[in-house]
Structure 1
Amino acid sequence: MIAPSRIADDLLPVGDGQEEAAQILTLRLGRGVFGIPVRHVREVLDVAPITPVANAPASLLGIIDVRHEGVPVIDLKQRLRIAGDDAAGSRDRRIVVLEIEAEGAPTVIAIIADAVLEVVEHDPAALDRPPSLGERWDDSFIHGIGRRMGEFMTLLDVSAIFGRAPFGQPAA
């Protein structure tokens, strides 16, 4: 076990004049903390009514209207196979609108976060590789593992999550 004094957070609140490339939006999905590079984040919205789409994949919850544009809303927890607390009724739940590259084109999607925490700066050199499990698993959607306030935080590569696997299928 590592003594708390040896655990140094490598994520710090963003101050003035810091470069966007080093900024991530931290959010909670289930019991885990995840980060998304700010360059992909268009905006964070309160939860709004989501219109279901007929014959949609299970991870596509439906669409919402964002500034007169229909935007698909994805259940990221399902897509990443994350079990955890269902915060469907939580007042902390938010919709995060992202702009990613999928199949070589800019694409706007939204995800549901159980809570949006803060924007922080990170040092890519301080991130650890995903752990070795002794078996094969696809960690290509993870930039690395960091720490935030004593908790582990997984920095996600959202373009890899949504741009590679067939939509509606887990990102293996």
Structure 2
Amino acid sequence: MTSATAPREPAQYVTIGIDREVFAIEVGIVREILDLQPITRLPHAPPFLVGMIDVRGQGVPTVDLRVKLGLPAVQPTANTRIIVLDVPQQGQGASLTVGVVADRVFEVTSLDGQDLETPPQVGGRWRSDCIQAIGRSNGTFVIVFDIARLFAQDDVALLTMADAA
């Protein structure tokens, strides 16, 4: 079954690893990919908001995707990366710049909209409301994030406050 919201033509995605899974983020919202750098912790922040990083003089709130997805935090490795995103805000023309910590970054790949499937609604390990579709790349299932939903309104407000700090 093909998703009605999936792209109709092959789209480019950055594929990342979180735990044992492969996720994809649309290339169009990826500003840059950084090696892990010092993160300034914020007092009283929720566990998923690990702090702020400096990206060319701009303070960027940074989220641990493992924790955001309900997994335990782990020590960074040589493969840990921060992906700086311009997250579209629902109902607004503006976007919010946010860094997301991923266990690793694999590659930029094309996923054909005809091969993307609607995520099953059977519960399970990941919140299905933050998944746009499921596809395949190099024989592996790839879970395509719906970034706007992953960072729901409450999270956007929180990240905006962190950005202002």
Which interval holds the TM-score relative to the shorter structure? 0.7 to 0.9
Q: 2:38 aligns with which of 49, 52, 59?
A: 49
| 8 Å contact from structure 1 (residues 21, 37) kept in 2 | no
Bigger Cα Rg: 1
| TM-score using structure 1 length | 0.76
1:127 and 2:116 equivalent? yes
Structure 2 match to 1:117: 106
1:79 and 2:68 equivalent? yes
| 8 Å contact from structure 1 (residues 26, 117) kept in 2 | yes
| TM-score using structure 2 length | 0.79
The percentage of aligned residue pairs carrying the same residue is: 38
1:167 and 2:155 equivalent? yes
1:102 and 2:89 equivalent? yes
Superposition misfits of 4+ residues, deviation over 4 angstroms: none
Structure 2 match to 1:9: none
Q: 1:89 aligns with which of 71, 76, 85?
A: 76
- Kindly provide the amino acid, as one letter, of the partner of residue 46 in structure 1: D
Aligned length: 145
| 8 Å contact from structure 1 (residues 50, 64) kept in 2 | yes
TM-aligned CA deviation for residue 102 of structure 1: 2.7
| 8 Å contact from structure 1 (residues 100, 108) kept in 2 | yes
Q: Any idea what SS the aligned residue of 2:155 has? A: coil
TM-aligned CA deviation for residue 156 of structure 1: 0.4
Seen in structure 2, the aligned counterparts of structure 1 residues 89 and 21 have a Cα distance that, compared at 3 Å, is: same
Q: Which runs of 5+ in 2 are unaligned?
A: 1-8, 157-165
For residues 138 and 92 of structure 1, the distance between their equivalents in structure 2, rounded to whole angstroms, comes to 25
For residues 123 and 148 of structure 2, the distance between their equivalents in structure 1, rounded to whole angstroms, comes to 27
TM-aligned CA deviation for residue 74 of structure 1: 0.2
- Kindly provide the amino acid, as one letter, of the partner of residue 58 in structure 1: P
Q: Deviations over 1:47-90 (max 9, x none)?
A: 0000001111111000000010000010112112246x83x231
Q: Which runs of 5+ in 1 are unaligned?
A: 1-19
Q: 2:136 aligns with which of 147, 150, 154?
A: 147
